Amino acid sequence: MQHRRKAFAILAVPLALIITIVAGYDHLRGTAFLVQAGDIGGPIRAIAEWQSDDVAESGVQIPWRGGALNGRTYVASDADDPPVLLVPGVHAGGIDEPRLVQFARDVASMGRTVVTAELPDLKTYRITTRSTDMIEDAALWLSSDSGHAPDGRIGMMGISFAGGLSIVAGSRPSLRERVAFVLSFGGHGDLPRTLQYLCTGVMPGGATRPPHDYGVAIILLGVAGRMVPPEQAGPLEAAILAFLHASHVDVLDEAEGQREFARAKGLAEALDEPARTLMNYVNARDVARLGPLLLPHVAEFGGHEALSPSRAPAPPFPVYLLHGLDDNVIPAAESALLAETLRARGADVWRVATPMITHAEVDRAAGLQSVWMLVRFWANLLSE
């Protein structure tokens, strides 16, 4: 990681000087944000810290029509821009996931209040229509009853699958006039099309790239009841969740992760057929065998309009689409196609696909042009 940071810092120092002289304050703030998000040290860090506010954090309960969501507020010492609702994607860490926490701090330090909202379905690897309802209700609360939005206007940001859902939620009648912008970071445009890629590795346009294997596990979790007898669905879902939990733990503690993977394999052996074979494919990360079995179900599983911004009403607010070129969870073509769809409906869209991002994290060095594209992207977003 150090060589990436050094490469970025070498580019960022002269870039920051050029921006300061030529492009002005907003682009300097975009540079400062990018330096912080990339955790860049050295002389350029001083410029970032000059632009940054101190941030205070606290927990909060966010009401929604079905109860309350766990949340956290990040309040800048001199917050004067519209507050932002930030929603994590499909990840067991939820609002406590370290990269999300740091991202929230970085956005807040640019002079905004950020509220993160935890969606229990996404946290347990389920993509559901009620998650869109939760985002809508959380955004309504932030814009009206939170005390953070005196003029009723807010920004919205969603990571991964929450990106597409945030665009859908923001486009609903209750929010359309309250939203200043929506950022979809590594998000989808059409959910069935994305699920089809995860099953086949074929991207929109016909190019191929091996998909991340956890995608088929998530799809199987969602359609298990359609693929096995009713009495097998519950045990199969439990085994899938054990595998997904092991994948999460493995990132933090490899030895513990291996123990959890062994537990998932043990649960598979206790299953009856056909659930056992399906779970063995999950444990073997065998997308080639499992994907074609899931493919007939993706249209029904992901077809509801509440799950795809390409099927929702056109948003009246600016939409920012940020994607990694080599994303193998949600391909970058999803953002490109969504941009085309939204622009055709009259929406204002900013889109950047960059080699500096993997799925939803800035973690690669790149050339000056790629850095400048990201600076302009964040400068415009942060000025909304």
pLDDT, tens digit, for every residue of 314-355? 999 999 999 999 999 999 999 999 999 999 999 999 999 988
Taking domain 51-190+308-382, whether its CATH number is 3.40.1710.10 is answered by: no
Residue bearing the bigger pLDDT, 45 or 290: 290
Global pTM reads: 0.88
pLDDT digits (tens, 9 = 90+) for 73-132: 999 888 788 999 999 999 999 999 999 999 999 899 888 999 999 999 999 999 999 999
Q: What is the arithmetic mean of pLDDT over 283-310?
A: 95
Whose CA is closest to 227, among 130, 168, 301, 134? 301
Q: Please tell me the least confidently modeled range out of 21-25, 94-98, 218-222, 333-337.
A: 21-25
For the chain, give every domain's residue range. 51-190+308-382, 193-302
CA angle, residues 317, 319, 320, in degrees to nearest 5 = 145
pLDDT digits (tens, 9 = 90+) for 151-202: 999 999 999 999 999 999 999 999 999 999 999 999 999 999 999 999 999 9
- Give the per-residue pLDDT at 85: 98
- Give the per-residue pLDDT at 43: 45
Q: What is the arithmetic mean of pLDDT over 134-154?
A: 97
CA angle, residues 287, 288, 290, in degrees to nearest 5 = 60
> In which residue are the tokens 């509220």 written?
115
pLDDT at residue 133 greater than cutoff 80: yes
Q: What percent of the chain has pLDDT over 90?
A: 70
- Containing 199, the helix (H) or strand (E) segment is helix 191-200
Give the whole-angstrom CA distance, residue 332 versus residue 247. 24
- Give the per-residue pLDDT at 17: 44
Pairing of strands 179-185, 113-117: unpaired
pLDDT at residue 20 greater than cutoff 50: no
Q: Which amino acid is at 135?
A: I
Q: What is the arithmetic mean of pLDDT over 300-308?
A: 93
Q: What percent of the chain has pLDDT over 70?
A: 83
**Is the peptide bond between 43 and the residue preceding it cis, with omega within 30 degrees of 0?**
no
